[in-house]
């Protein structure tokens, strides 16, 4: 047991990032309360933790008040993939905004430290490159991505108003595209889509010409950034960019994944979704200098781990993957 054992609430704890965070917090000796409504999260993600006495899972929607006793809160509840957050856009905004109000209210009552999983989407389709935290963004407030982008922007506003008005201890991380094991196979995000398509030998669906860029961070690196930001001195409120500053085009990502899987998949070009950002890459100077943090896992290593995860998942579900076909 850690000498600084804390009771930590993780909202969205059964999701991709949340489940990795719960695992890390338990490994660090804390008690974890995982709160999730299972909209995009899965019980499977936290199943290995259920037998652990330090872990507790609670089905709850953060749009409703929550009365629990904890020392720290990580607020991750919100669908993150464009397909999922656009499925019920009104609910997405409610989750970000009402969820933030409820969790901030809880933090205020408990005088607990609270962390917000914000996003690079607050920069919209950026006109400044790479993005620094002082860039105010270029978001279309009425487009299909606005439910997520504006919801997250409003959540940041609420965090900073609680900080100024109620002297709450806040931490705001702006997370850039992160990938790894336990991503949802059908969430439509580029890494999971391309890997699943390559493993099944299906066409790789590139939206637009594939020249748009993203910077991909491996999940373990990101979680280390969360822990460091939460533990930082209270004057470090953020927002702090957390992401891997290695920019890659979507086309290059497709080629890399096809090669790593050894797949025969062909490329299929599809229309670019509305308001899809053309270029995205974080400037992580703040995280480097204030947190001593930077990503360590190279894209190829992270992709191999993620491919192995999806290969197992698909095989368990009865799909004969490219790897299985090669072995057969
Ligand atoms: P995810 O969809 O796997 O996880 C989100 C979790 O929140 C799920 O378990 C879902 O069931 C839960 N949830 C959704 N609405 C809820 C509600 N109303 N009440 C309770 N639980 C609810 O996505 P993720 O990639 O793990 O993202 C986690 C957080 O990080 C999100 O807030 C997301 O906006 C942020 N983020 C992620 C990325 C990324 O690349 N993964 C990038 C930027 C920001
Ligand atoms: N993308 C793609 N094919 C896919 C899924 C996504 O070309 O099958 C593109 C998408 O248009 C975007 C980039 O990949 O330009 C990243 O998309 P993702 O949904 O993963 O994240 P976000 O757009 O939120 O960064």
Distance 129 CA to ligand 1 centre (A): 26
User: Which of these is catalytic: 74, 123, 148, 179?
Assistant: 148
Residue 320 pLDDT: 76
Q: Any idea which ligand is nearest the CA of 125? A: 2
Does ligand 2 come within 6 angstroms of the Cβ of 224?
no
For the cut 70, the answer to whether the pLDDT of residue 328 exceeds it is no
Mean pLDDT value across residues 264-291: 97
Decide the pairing of beta strands 247-249 and 213-215.
antiparallel
Distance 208 CA to ligand 2 centre (A): 10
Distance 168 CA to ligand 2 centre (A): 35
* Helix residue ranges, H only, the chain: 16-27, 43-46, 82-85, 89-110, 146-166, 190-200, 219-231, 250-261, 285-291, 299-316, 322-327
What residues contact 245, with CB distance under 8 A and at least 6 apart?
130, 215, 281, 282, 283, 284, 295
pLDDT by residue (tens digit) across 282-326? 999 999 999 999 999 999 999 999 999 999 999 998 887 876 666
Phi, then psi, of 281 in degrees rounded to 5 = -160, 135
Cut 0.95: pTM above it: yes
pLDDT by residue (tens digit) across 184-221? 999 999 999 999 999 999 999 999 999 999 999 999 99
Does ligand 2 come within 6 angstroms of the Cβ of 177?
yes
Mean pLDDT score of the chain: 96
Give the span between the Cα atoms of 307 and 321, in whole angstroms: 11
Residue 148 is among the residues annotated as catalytic for this protein = yes
Does ligand 1 come within 6 angstroms of the Cβ of 78?
yes
Look up tokens 């400037």; give the residue. Answer: 283
Q: Any idea which ligand is nearest the CA of 213? A: 2
């Amino acid at each position: 047991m850690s000498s600084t054992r804390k009771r930590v609430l993780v909202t969205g704890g059964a999701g991709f990032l949340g489940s990795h965070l719960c695992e890390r917090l338990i490994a660090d000796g804390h008690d974890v309360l995982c709160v999730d409504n299972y909209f995009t999260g899965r019980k499977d993600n936290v199943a290995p933790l259920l037998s652990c006495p330090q872990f507790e899972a609670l089905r709850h929607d953060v749009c409703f008040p929550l009365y629990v006793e904890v020392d720290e809160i990580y607020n991750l509840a919100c669908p993150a993939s464009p397909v999922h957050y656009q499925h019920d856009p009104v609910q997405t905004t409610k989750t970000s905004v009402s969820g933030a109000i409820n969790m901030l209210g809880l933090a205020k009552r408990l005088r607990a430290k609270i962390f917000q999983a914000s996003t690079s989407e607050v920069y919209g389709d950026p006109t400044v490159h790479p993005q620094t935290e002082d860039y105010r963004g270029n978001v279309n407030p009425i487009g299909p991505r606005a439910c997520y982008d504006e919801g997250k922007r409003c959540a940041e506003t609420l965090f900073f108003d609680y900080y100024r008005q109620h002297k709450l201890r806040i931490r705001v991380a702006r997370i850039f595209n992160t990938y790894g094991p336990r991503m949802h196979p059908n969430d439509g995000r580029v890494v999971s889509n391309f890997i699943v398509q390559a493993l099944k030998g299906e066409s790789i669906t590139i939206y637009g010409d594939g020249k748009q860029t993203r910077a991909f961070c491996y999940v373990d690196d990101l979680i280390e950034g969360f822990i460091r930001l939460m533990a930082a001195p209270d004057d470090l409120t953020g927002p702090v960019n957390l992401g891997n500053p290695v920019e890659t085009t979507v086309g290059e990502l497709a080629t890399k994944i096809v090669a790593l899987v050894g797949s025969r998949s062909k490329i299929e070009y599809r229309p670019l979704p509305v308001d899809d950002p053309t270029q995205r890459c974080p400037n992580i100077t703040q995280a480097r200098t204030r947190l001593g943090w930077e990503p360590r896992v190279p894209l190829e290593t992270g992709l191999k781990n993620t491919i192995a995860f999806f290969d197992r998942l698909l095989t368990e579900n009865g799909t004969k993957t490219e790897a299985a076909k090669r072995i057969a």
